[in-house]
Amino acid sequence: MRRKFSVLIAFVLAATFILGALAMPGLAAAEFKDYGPVVDEIIMPIIKESTALRIAFERGETVVWPGLTQPADIDQAKSLDYADMRMTLGFHMFYLCFNMRKAPYDAPVIRQAMAHITDRDNIIRTLFKGYMLPMTSFVPQASAFYKEDLPTYPFNLARAAEILDEAGYVLDETGRNRIDPKTGKPLPEMKIFTPTYEVAPTSAELGKMIADSAQKVGLPVVPEPMDFNIMLDKIDIHDFDMYVLAWSLSRNPTHLVNFFHSNQDVEAGYNNPGIRDPKLDRVLDLLDTAPELQTARVAADEAQLILAREMPYIPLYSRPYIDAFRKDMVTGYIDMMGYGAASNSNQWTFLNVSRVDESGNPVPGGTIRWALEEEPKNLNPATASSAYEWNVLDRLFDGLYAMHPESLEDMTWMAKDWDVDTWTTDAGSEGTTITWYLHDGLKWSDGMPFTAEDIKFTIDFLKENKVPRYLPNTEDIAKVEVIDELTVKVYFDTVSYWHLYNAALSFLPKHIWDDVEDYNSFEPWLEPHPTMEGFTKLVGHGPFMLKEYRPGEFVRLVKNPNYWRLGPAN
Amino acid sequence: MGFRSYLVKRIWYALLVLVVILTFNFVLFRVMPGDPEKMIIDPNFTVEAKQELRRQYGLDEPILKQYTNYMTSLLKFDMGLSFNTRRPVWSELKERLPNTLILFLATFVSTAAVGISLGVFSAANRGRFNEKFVVGAGLFAHAVPGFFIQLLLLLLLGYYWPILPIHGTMSAPPPDGGFAVLLDRLWHLILPAGSNMILGFGSWALYTRNTMLEALSQDYVTTARAKGLPKGDIMYHHALRSVLPPIVTLVFMSLPGAVSGAVITESIFSWHGVGRYLLDATLQMDYPAAQGAFYLIALSVIISNLLADIAYGLVDPRIRVGAGGPK
């Protein structure tokens, strides 16, 4: 309860900050129905050009202008009477990274001083007109694993100078540089790599602002804008002092293992700062292999505490999701923490969204137009990898579990329950088992029953074919056992609570995919369905079905009459 | 040298240029900064998954083997799988090619028609305001960056005075019926093809005007005037007819520019074509996709140049006989 309250406080503070910038009324907690969809059809015109997307929104050719990031676009949307601005915390993190493999960045005091000279509020106000959230944690605030009460290093130039002096980094006779106590020589030039002004003007300017601030306390920091790809190459081979970049994180804290475990401190690994802390490694190992949720929470808390002290990164800001909806055309969209109201991961919006009449009252049925910002291109669920493709596919497939839009806690969904347990593998070690208990009456969109056999078929298919996208999910799976038509047990070779999510995939209909010889070249959205006229072999179990896809033009989805959740649960 | 020898020589040159371009195309993406594998390999992939993807895309082969695979595959129009979509590149290009050709054809016909007409018109009005206006407008449209004019038109005719569609090649969903579909397609062509016409008519108009003025100063035109022929007859039957051969050559010479210009036009008007595909593929370091699109564009440019050479050879014998004179 305390954690939830803290997250709520953090959310309210963050929302207050950005709502001030947006000058919007406060957000009320969203009421959502866990069934639907309300509309009969979604036409998704593909509009890639940002100016055209804005015009399409204003012309009413799309009910949503999603993912607003540019202050000019946000201001424009705000000025429209019919635009309803929605904002939710995101999983984005913009940060400054130190190369802890080399001096002086291996000294904690240097990193702490750099944190003290970083004025997040000024950066956000100056560069983003307030449309960003200051960030001080290594796990996004929207995550249920976010830990509050961590040590922070607020903007304070005097404090930065003071801790440097105390650690022996005293000013030289010019008063513009500090002496490294280990070498007795002035500190070398400290470079911050940033993308160029042409590619990312705000990132480049941000580097300059931090450098200007650091120079005030005698740290010889200079910004060095460079080609983005060259910058990434240099980061890969650890040829840098500091750099600024962004990550898109998720609700689970497993990114901490990738980013900060010493086994990732290799060329092209993801431990870019090169932090090697045995205690942190132990905690991250525990986080990675936690058998149940509580252990994972404890490990995530401990890891965040160590990282807050060690400061391999300075988290700078997080970009919230800001979406504009045509409130004169639709209602019922749901704000979802971490994902936004209009993202493909937000299944609740697509179940609840409805048209409105002239008085703004919901009108069931009918068609809405929802722009796609990019071509979906590949609608093969085994190989589709981009968010643009899943913008469509997520409407066609449902999950075994769902995420609550506010708490982001797991909810039962197609699975009415599940067990996480352990077993002894053939090699005698301990492994995790996940048992899924399916709802009765689940169907594919072509009317065939969705059963435990489909789950086993999918996992076996992906594993046997070594489908790259799903190898991280399937590599630790030892076997799948169908207990009965509605119960399936997945056995993992290793112990980890996160296997729960590895076993919950987008499942493939066995009656369609059984004959597929080459999954790479199979284009289910182009092949006619053997029995359903006017539809294709792209068969799912989500609220919508693919009716038509004209590459470069639009995607047309219609309500799935066989959807298992057309009405409230019994 | 006879025309056949001339033709064979030009074809050999064209093939040589194609091989050089394709080799350059292969090398270019591999020396560009950045690691394209990052586009296909998720950071969280296991070592096994990464190796499997490298194997699937042939990235585990030595670079020379990759090159020979690349060249032999292109000959068979097998352009491999896109890194980005995992789909065959040729399938994706085939989807887009008709749209690019339609846009190209509409642009080409409208630009040539308007440009040549205005060229003749300004030549006929030499020294008057009409000529100055055509020349000034042509130079202005030619000098201003294309994307700027296109964005301006998008805003003007799509937003402030919203009378034209702003994206795509058809309505979503398209109307029923063949004629309605045709009208809908034409409706969507107006902005992209029209803006291209505005950007391109200047060079046609100026070229036509200059050659027309030269023709109008020839003795046979003076003779025609002396015979008292009507002005229209002199303009269209005598002067214009004599300048048509170089204009026909200009037709072919302008093809490469029109093809490369498609990249910007298709991006601004969300036109589902090869140009936009090339841009996306390059930005995403999608080797096979970008190489496939470059291959198509290189082919079209080389074929255009070859046609221009042939047209030159046909209309002007001096080109094909070379410096040594007729043999």
Is the pLDDT confidence value at B50 over 70?
Answer: no
Residue B247 identity (one-letter amino acid) = I
Query: Does residue B244 lie in a domain region?
Result: yes
User: CA distances (Å), A166 to each of A111, A155, A169, A215, A314, in order?
Assistant: 14, 18, 7, 18, 22
pTM for this model (two decimals): 0.82
pLDDT at position B250, please?
77
How many CA atoms does the CB half-sphere of A18 hold within 13 Å?
27
Residues of chain A with Cβ-Cβ distance to B90 below 8 Å are none
pLDDT at position B42, please?
57
pLDDT at position B37, please?
61
pLDDT at position B146, please?
87
Of A45, A232, A385, the CB nearest to B168: A45
Report which secondary-structure segment, H or E, holds B304: helix B287-315
Is the pLDDT confidence value at B292 over 90?
Answer: no
> What's the domain count of chain B?
1
Tokens of B87: 């789909």
Choose the mutation target among A40, A44, A51, A502 for the interface with B, i.e. most B CBs under 10 Å.
A51
Query: Does residue B327 lie in a domain region?
Result: no
Is the pLDDT confidence value at B205 over 70?
Answer: yes
CA distance A164 to chain B (A): 37
- Peptide bond before B317: cis, by omega within 30 degrees of 0? no
Regions of chain A where pLDDT drops below 70? 1-30, 570
SS3 A58: helix
pLDDT at position B324, please?
43
Of B34, B41, B95, the CB nearest to A229: B34
Choose the mutation target among A254, A375, A502 for the interface with B, i.e. most B CBs under 10 Å.
A375
Q: What are phi and psi of B61, to 5 degrees?
A: -80, 155
**Residue (of A482, A486, A466) closest to A474 by Cα position:** A466
Question: Per the CB < 8 Å rule, is A471 touching B38?
Answer: no
Q: Under a CB-based contact definition with an 8 Å cutoff, are residues A340 and A248 in contact?
A: no
Query: Does residue B290 lie in a domain region?
Result: yes
Helices B3-31/B63-75 angle, 10° precision: 140
Tens digit of each residue's pLDDT (9 = 90 or more) over B120-148: 999 988 889 999 999 999 999 888 888 89
pLDDT at position A111, please?
97
Residue in chain B nearest A371 by alpha carbon: B172
Q: What contacts B318, CB < 8 A, 6 or more positions away?
A: none
Strand runs labelled E in A399-486: 401-403, 410-412, 415-424, 430-438, 477-484
**Residue (of A544, A394, A389, A399) closest to A39 by Cα position:** A544
CA distance B216 to chain A (A): 47
CATH of residue B111's domain is 1.10.3720.10
CA distance B118 to A418: 76
Residue in chain B nearest A555 by alpha carbon: B172
CA distance A67 to A374: 13
pLDDT at position B45, please?
59
CA distance B159 to chain A (A): 6
What do you get for the CA distance between the two ends of chain B, in Å? 6
Its ipTM equals 0.74
Starting at the edge strand found earlier in the chain, the sheet holding A544-550 runs A367-369, A41-45, A554-559, A544-550
Which of the four pLDDT bands, split at 50, 70 and 90, describes residue B24?
confident
Tokens of A242: 């500091």
Question: Per the CB < 8 Å rule, is A377 touching B38?
Answer: no
Which positions 493-532 of A are in contact with B (Cβ < 8 Å)? 520-521, 523
Which of the four pLDDT bands, split at 50, 70 and 90, describes residue B305?
confident
pLDDT at position A5, please?
41
pLDDT at position B38, please?
59
Cα angle: A180, vertex A181, A182; to 5 degrees: 90
Q: Under a CB-based contact definition with an 8 Å cutoff, are residues A270 and A247 in contact?
A: no
User: CA distances (Å), A264 to each of A101, A195, A242, in order?
Assistant: 13, 24, 18
Share of chain B above pLDDT 70, in %: 87
Ramachandran area for residue A388 (φ above 0: left; ψ -120 to 50: alpha; else beta): alpha
Lowest mean pLDDT among A41-55, B35-49, B245-259: B35-49
Question: Per the CB < 8 Å rule, is B154 touching A52?
Answer: yes
- B10-17 contacts: CB < 8 A, separation 24 or more? B10/B306, B10/B309, B10/B310, B10/B313, B11/B306, B14/B302, B14/B303, B14/B305, B14/B306, B17/B302
Query: Does residue B191 lie in a domain region?
Result: yes
CA distance A519 to A522: 5
Residues of chain A with Cβ-Cβ distance to B96 below 8 Å are 551-552
**B219 is in which domain, residue-wise?**
89-319
Question: Per the CB < 8 Å rule, is B167 touching A45?
Answer: yes
CA distance A271 to A202: 25
Tens digit of each residue's pLDDT (9 = 90 or more) over A399-449: 999 999 998 889 999 999 999 999 999 899 999 999 999 999 999 999 999
CA distance B198 to A8: 56
Report which secondary-structure segment, H or E, holds B31: helix B3-31
Residue B215 identity (one-letter amino acid) = A
Tens digit of each residue's pLDDT (9 = 90 or more) over B169-192: 999 989 988 899 999 999 999 999
Query: Does residue B283 lie in a domain region?
Result: yes
Q: Under a CB-based contact definition with an 8 Å cutoff, are residues A95 and A312 in contact?
A: no
pLDDT at position B41, please?
54
* Burial of residue A151, with CB atoms counted within 10 A of its CB: 0-12 exposed, 13-18 middle, 19 or more buried: exposed
User: CA distances (Å), A465 to each of A499, A520, B41, B51, B203, in order?
Assistant: 20, 10, 17, 14, 57
Place of tokens 């056995």: A491
Q: What is the 3-state secondary structure (H, E, C) of A178-225?
A: EECCCCCCECCCEEEEEECCCCCHHHHHHHHHHHHHHHCCCCCEEEEE
SS3 A133: strand
Residue A115 identity (one-letter amino acid) = A
Cβ contacts from A onto B, under 8 A: 136
pLDDT at position B327, please?
37
What would the mean pLDDT of B290-297 be, rounded to a whole number? 84
Higher pLDDT, B324 or A390: A390
